[in-house]
A and B are shown apart, each in its own frame.
Chain A
Amino acid sequence: MNPLPVHPRTPVFDIVIEQEDLDAVAEVLRSGWLTMGPRTEAIEAEFAAHIGVRHCVATSSCTTALHLACIAAGVGPGDEVIVPSLTFVATANAVRYCGGQPIFADLIGSHDLGIDPDHIESLITPKTKAIIPVHYAGYAVPIEAIVELCERYGLALIEDAAHAPDAYVEGAGGAPRMLGSFGASGCFSFFPNKVLAVGEGGCLVTDDDQIAATARLLRSQGMTATSIDKQRGEAFAYDVVGLGFNYRFDDPRAALLMTRFRRLHGEIERRRELVHRYRSAFADFDAIDIPYSDEQVDRSSCYLMGVRVDPAIRRDFRARLIERHGVQTTIYPATHRLSAYVEAFGEVSLPQTEAVCASLASIPLFPHLSDSEQDRVIAAVKQTVEGLS
């Protein structure tokens, strides 16, 4: 058995479970009804309303939500789906689960890590079925431009909003429009290191009745009735009308999600404040480069605080931060460079993504990170970079 890592003094993410969370979960457990039931239905309704769409389908993870979204978009063998490489491997895997081929588009640049609409357009072929942009770190991709591309070329848009609950863009007239609401489907994650964490879990949101029906059907084996229907006496027998999965969420997690969801907005506000403090602290510090603009921060969910350093020092930068200061960091490998992808699809060149992936590291960011602890991280980062330059 692998021993668990010793808890770092300042982890890259951390969550606090409140008494109201515990009470909500205990209540469900006492009720004895554990599989999807009234709590799942309640959080689905509330989350859909928050995003501003008609349907939310809670799932076992964001990976499985992305798979359902690809199926609902009709992705199948021979189809291509354009995805970014700076993302978790699940984004591209979802396409492969359907027999499709992920085509990697480069990102905009070191100042904005979103997928590049111009590069997307250059990759569109008659085989292209869909585009899955990722709102990396909680920052919106140029979503209107991508919506326009999808409309022009007749492509399905699936938003990977795993990082981006409560993030938005300013729509027509300046009214906010939530990320996840632009695509045919939007997919969110409730994984423990995410801004809205419950353990394993995710959801698919959509305004499209047919997509919602497909996702609901295939989430539970393709069965025409669920356990709660039978319990309520609303269904006596069921049929199976598709090749489905067990991608279900359950009620204990739904209860935890509900109480945590109600604190989400306040926590995102604090994340934005912390990101602004980081940005000010590193503004005049040449050896550290920070992507995105101050204005983008205010609309982001601020899931990750990425800093870019000289690729030549990044390994030592991370090692010294944890060893000397107890400051944890994380990095993302580029998906197109993973063995599973090189073996399946060969070498692909994405210069911007490769440059960013070699230089980027995420430093601690979570809502209860205190100003003083953050100041300690800032000092440690500066000292470490200076010592290596």
Chain B
Amino acid sequence: MYRYDEFDAGFVSDRVAAFRDQVARRLSGEMTEDQFKPHRLMNGLYLQLHAYMLRVAVPYGTLSARQMRKLAIIARRYDKGYGHFTTRQNIQYNWPALADTPAILEELASVEMHAIQTSGNCIRNVTADHFAGAAADELDDPRPYAEILRQWSSLHPEFSFLPRKFKIAVNGATRDRAAIQTHDIGYQIVRNSAGEIGFAVYVGGGQGRTPMIAKKIRDFLKIEDLLAYTQAIVRIYNLEGRRDNKYKARIKILVHEKGLDWMRQAVEAEFEAASRDYIALPDSEIARIKAYFAPPELQARASSQKFAARRESDPRFAGFVSTNVAAHKIDGYGIVTISLKPIGGIPGDATAEQMEAVADLAELYSQAEIRVSHEQNLVLPHVALDDLPVIYDELLASGLATANAGLVSDIIACPGMDYCSLATARSIPVAQRISERFGDGPRARDIGALKIKISGCINACGHHHVGHIGILGLERKGVETYQITLGGTGDETCSMGTLTGPGFSSEEVVDAIERIVDAYMALRNEPGEDFLTAFRRLGMQPFKEALYDTSKGADI
């Protein structure tokens, strides 16, 4: 794992000291709220519906057991005993007191974490595949490149006041688990015809009120040019992006309005013109960063008797394995997804005790490594199959063994109007009711892979545009209303969902989702045809009929 060097440590502790001073001056009245607000936002501190909210970055979703323990301590000592893992691999605390925030940041700094650039019009937390370094389908670990981008972009003087926020994601596997095509820049690690590793570069993707799929601006970028090319893109955006209208200020609008050809020409010209003296990545530096992410020395293991026997005798364990354990690059190991979606629970919430339980398991069985996924789950990336029975039992004891990863009840949802001051409707209660309706038992398994994503406003933090079924909560005449979109996905076949038609009330929306699911079940070619494939084959019409003409829908 990456460890702070002296520069990082000094820089983060200076920031904590500066913020401590700013908070003191705010509390003493020396600073007004208007003066203070930009400072608190630069340190990830928002004022939300009920209280302050602190957003802490988990760079590229990688956490050590030690860091997770610290997150638990902060939840217990300074908050209400829980934290919320977000849809961008961050964790949010919902109830910190302003006066405590410098102490929280100091605690975080002691385990090499911070909340810098989790807000504001700068380059945000760089995200990556949550199975990075472990997945069987991986070409190269994306995290060293995400870390290089993180170091380069932290407090970058030229890019601290962009027209709008800027999000970068890196994926290194054939499956895109990092949703790179919905980011301002997406880097996909590829191999060219000469056998060299590099990046395919996507630009101008995003969700929010104007969803856009990123466009491929370059087929192959050499690794040494990662920063030079990123600089060229962000520089063109910084100069040419719109600042007249907040809602048209993201790079996706620039690419859309000026066209990909214009963008490519501008970026390539800037890339060629700028000096590479200080920004080309030398092999030695890449190797230095890569060393922090060196794969653990795992020896391939023969098939596990213990694992096979338990799988044979315990159908619940077998179910857990089939949904929550993914293929590891080393034989005899697996990647375990710990669902933070208990049936009827709040997506992404974890108690301090649960965080500690996960930290213990990581320490004992997963090289002390944990991942946070943008789907609001936790991951133990390096687990020997032999150890799975005991891990499963421990997860059961901590209420963390929900066997629904990737199923209908593995819903991602933004905090919505229960916490967020921007929200126009609640998201969490809808997620809870859908989860209760379908559960994680035989019915959910029969339905198969299905991603439901819920946002409580058009800013789309719940990624509804890329949900196989997306739900967007809006307000109509003072009442919560939910629009449904179908056919979205954030993977390598990225598509934005299509609106079904008029929205549904809070009372109606779960039944509406059930009608969609029932229609799919009746129309799928075979159990192997998942929802998205079936939707792409069938189109919207049969689902519209099921949704808006219930007499007909019931007969499908």
Decide if A and B are genuine partners. no
* Chain B interface (Cβ < 8 Å from any Cβ of A): none
